Amino acid sequence: MRLQVFCEDRLGMTRELLDILASRQIDLRGIEIDRVGIIYLNCPEIEFEQFSQLMSQIRQLDGVTDVRKIQFMPSEREHKELKALLEALPDPFFSVSLQGKIDLANDAAEVLLGKSREEIVGEHIQTFVGFNIHNWLEKEKASRRSELVVLSGLDYMMEIMPVYVTDETEEQVLASAVILLKSLSEAKMPLAMRQLSGDNGFEHLVGQSSRFKQLVSQAKKLAMLDAPLLIQGETGTGKEMLARACHQRSLRRDNPFLLVNCMSMPDNAAETELFGMAATATEPGKKGIFEQADGGIAFLYEVGEMSEHLQIKLLRFLQDGTFRRVGEEKEMKVDVRVICSTQKKLPELVATGQFREDLYYRLNVLALNVPPLRERTADIVPLADLFLSQFAQELQQPKPSISPEVAQYLSQYAWPGNIRQLRNVLFRAMTQLEGTEISVDDIQLPENESATVISEETLDGSLDEIMKRYESGILNSLYRSYPSTRKLAKRLGVSHTAVANKLREYGIGKH
């Protein structure tokens, strides 16, 4: 029980209250004294009759005007109110000791890290967000700071704020630090904020399949080299994102990363864009991409679409880094690393004379092959979860969950448009969603593209298990277009009973 005693501010009042408690053998758990003449006592609960006698005895003390039973001590109430306020924050929040240990984390932090409060509290903050509190205390004198971090593939602005308290001598003493993570959607992030350091660029790449891990491991090694890099893969596989990640990990990360889309411009415009334009009597000269990217990286998107004329000029540039602006005789020399991407098979273009063989070998010094999504099915659900988190931030609405049926459905689709198609399909589903969970009915996919993917993951197990997965995928895909067993049986040319048994066996159609 907690008692609030209103009394005069006189010498010995507190001692007399403690004597009463001692005489009744009531343990004192805590005491707080207010400057305006209020004393708070925290004691164990007692029987009603003993409580009535205690209240009467306290009221008889000289100078006591009233005594009441209250729910919380002042410090308890402040702590609970503060905790409730922090829990209500929509952004992840941590309270950190001067030793770097997490003392408090809110619900949003649990959701972000995918861990329970018990797993978070007591752990070192550097484990989760990479913040070194000891460097902050020593080098930055515990001043407020902000920095961009990437967690679970999403961008956050991390606000680190020192917490000072007043000691007995009225001096400010550093007691702890608080960390607030503000989510930043890609659409709202200023360009300057996207300049990450180290290998943070790779933290935006999400996946857990063996093919994905091999790709990232190889890309991190090649990113540190300075030779041309060729990234090959189907449309929508994330070739540009991989190139940007390589830039962020390279020694050129503090210099420009400039992109030229070789398939979106006519030949003369592309030449001016790459190499610049000489000054005339009426017009000033224009810098090209290679000149602007000096010290950094030029990314040539879909280099297989480049004309033969541009291929010759690019080949010469790759040999020694020199070029001429269009309409100018003076040669210029820059230090630029060239990264190219293509969805076409360049050896086939070389064989048909559409791409220069010498340029191909000059570009293909280092190479990365990005596998299509159908060959890395283990990455589909993690990518879907990442996209839903991004959309929830951008649309300012709660992130929906993915049901096991949807996870299976997404994993069995062939995704001819790869990651880009997956993202677009989920965005459409998110904008039309009314509940808190994505269902199969929310996913709109063309029927003729639905197929169970034959991949490394789907070939696990015995032949019987593989065939059952394949059969389940076909029935699950067709069931959306033929939601009755009779229609589905007619579509497949089998009996109604056979289809009903198969649907029951695989749990298809159950809600």
Domains of the chain, CATH where assigned: 2-76 (3.30.70.260), 89-194 (3.30.450.20), 200-369 (3.40.50.300), 374-506 (1.10.8.60)
pLDDT score recorded for residue 197: 38
pLDDT score recorded for residue 282: 81
The CA distances from residue 260 to 219, 269, 339, in Å, are 21, 11, 11
pLDDT score recorded for residue 42: 92
Measured between alpha carbons, how far is 320 from 143 in angstroms, rounded to an integer? 48
pLDDT score recorded for residue 10: 84
DSSP character string of 252-267: TTTS-EEEEETTSS-H
Question: In 3-state terms, what secondary structure has residue 1?
Answer: coil
**In 224-331, alpha helices (H):** 239-249, 267-275, 289-292, 308-320
E strands within 292-385? 297-301, 322-324, 331-333, 337-342, 366-369
Residue 152: CB partners within 8 Å, gap ≥ 6? 112, 114, 206, 386, 389
> Which residue's entry shows tokens 């593209």?
449
**Exposed, middle or buried, 171 (CB in 10 Å: 0-12/13-18/19+)?**
exposed
Question: In 3-state terms, what secondary structure has residue 27?
Answer: coil
The residue among 183, 297, 187, 188 whose CA lies nearest residue 244 is 297
H or E element at residue 391: helix 380-395
Q: Helix axis angle, 380-395 relative to 404-411, nearest 10°? A: 120
pLDDT score recorded for residue 510: 56
Say if CB 238 and CB 422 are below 8 A apart: no
Measured between alpha carbons, how far is 419 from 230 in angstroms, rounded to an integer? 20
Measured between alpha carbons, how far is 405 from 394 in angstroms, rounded to an integer? 26
Q: What are phi and psi of 267, to 5 degrees?
A: -55, -50
Amino acid of residue 306: M
E strands within 351-406? 366-369, 401-402
Which residue numbers in the chain have pLDDT < 70?
Answer: 140, 185-201, 447-461, 480-481, 509-511
Q: What are phi and psi of 478, to 5 degrees?
A: -75, -25
pLDDT score recorded for residue 155: 75
The CA distances from residue 233 to 258, 419, 424, in Å, are 20, 12, 19
The residue among 340, 334, 339 whose CA lies nearest residue 317 is 334
H or E element at residue 485: helix 485-492
Instruction: Report the helix count and the strand count for the chain, using DSSP H and E.
Output: 21, 18
Say if CB 305 and CB 266 are below 8 A apart: no
Measured between alpha carbons, how far is 162 from 145 in angstroms, rounded to an integer? 9
Say if CB 99 and CB 175 are below 8 A apart: no
